[in-house]
């Protein structure tokens, strides 16, 4: 929150940002299109990196400081009763519109690249979980709902991993 807090930890901050461990988004940026993507943009990553590599200078204009952020309270996500559980590969028997997905069980250290292979062969990226920690479990909401036709194959989940598909509202 302050320069005094950040400056001694500058190298660790840079490493956490470059490795995408902070902020804890849990997915590879750019694989899937999400409304609630909390990952840093490339410009934000470069800004932090440049600051650390530039000797973590402290600005000298107290009027240029941004206001302390206020974070809205987030209500707990409730899993819809009609969510579709995916373990391993799954072929949809009927068309399904999904608004997002929620990791249900992801073992520590597992990487999961989940895609939807449409009947015509097109591949739709769903999510690529990377070093996902259950402590930061959250839903991934798509920017626009995806309609997957019957016959679509959901692929890419390793053993002992499960994801809930969040259906669109009717």
Run of H or E residues at 112: strand 112-117
What's the rounded Cα separation, in Å, for the pair 22 and 10? 13
Per-residue CA distances from 168 to 75, 97, 99 (Å): 19, 5, 5
pLDDT given at position 117:
97
pLDDT given at position 122:
96
pLDDT digits (tens, 9 = 90+) for 78-105: 889 999 999 999 999 999 999 999 999 9
3-state SS assignment for residue 140: strand
What's the rounded Cα separation, in Å, for the pair 103 and 106? 7
Select from 155, 26, 163, 161 the least CA-distant residue to 107.
161
- Which residues pair with residue 130 across a beta bridge? none
Global pTM value: 0.75
Residue 35 is encoded by which pair of tokens? Answer: 């409304």
pLDDT given at position 130:
82
Q: How many CB atoms lie within 10 A of CB 118?
A: 15
- Which residues pair with residue 115 across a beta bridge? 125, 155
pLDDT digits (tens, 9 = 90+) for 122-167: 999 999 988 778 887 889 999 999 999 999 999 999 989 999 999 9
Select from 101, 105, 102, 79 the least CA-distant residue to 158.
105
Domains of the chain: 3-64 (no CATH), 84-167 (2.60.120)
Per-residue CA distances from 55 to 63, 66, 71, 72 (Å): 22, 21, 30, 33
């Amino acid at each position: 929150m302050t320069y005094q807090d950040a400056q001694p930890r500058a190298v660790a901050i840079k490493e956490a940002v470059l490795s995408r461990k902070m902020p804890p988004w849990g997915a590879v940026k750019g694989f899937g299109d999400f409304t609630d993507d909390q990952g840093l943009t490339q410009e934000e990553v470069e800004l932090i990196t440049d600051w650390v590599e530039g000797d973590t200078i402290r600005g000298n204009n107290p009027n240029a400081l941004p206001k302390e952020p206020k974070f809205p309270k987030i209500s707990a996500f409730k899993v819809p009763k009609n969510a579709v559980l995916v373990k391993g590969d799954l072929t949809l028997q009927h068309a399904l519109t999904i608004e997002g997905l929620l990791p249900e069980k992801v073992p520590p250290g597992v990487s999961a690249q989940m895609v939807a292979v449409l009947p015509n062969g097109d591949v739709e990226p769903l999510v690529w979980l990377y070093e996902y920690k259950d402590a930061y479990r959250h839903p991934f909401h798509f920017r626009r709902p995806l309609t997957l036709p019957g016959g679509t194959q959901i692929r890419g989940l390793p053993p002992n991993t499960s994801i809930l598909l969040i259906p669109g509202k009717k």
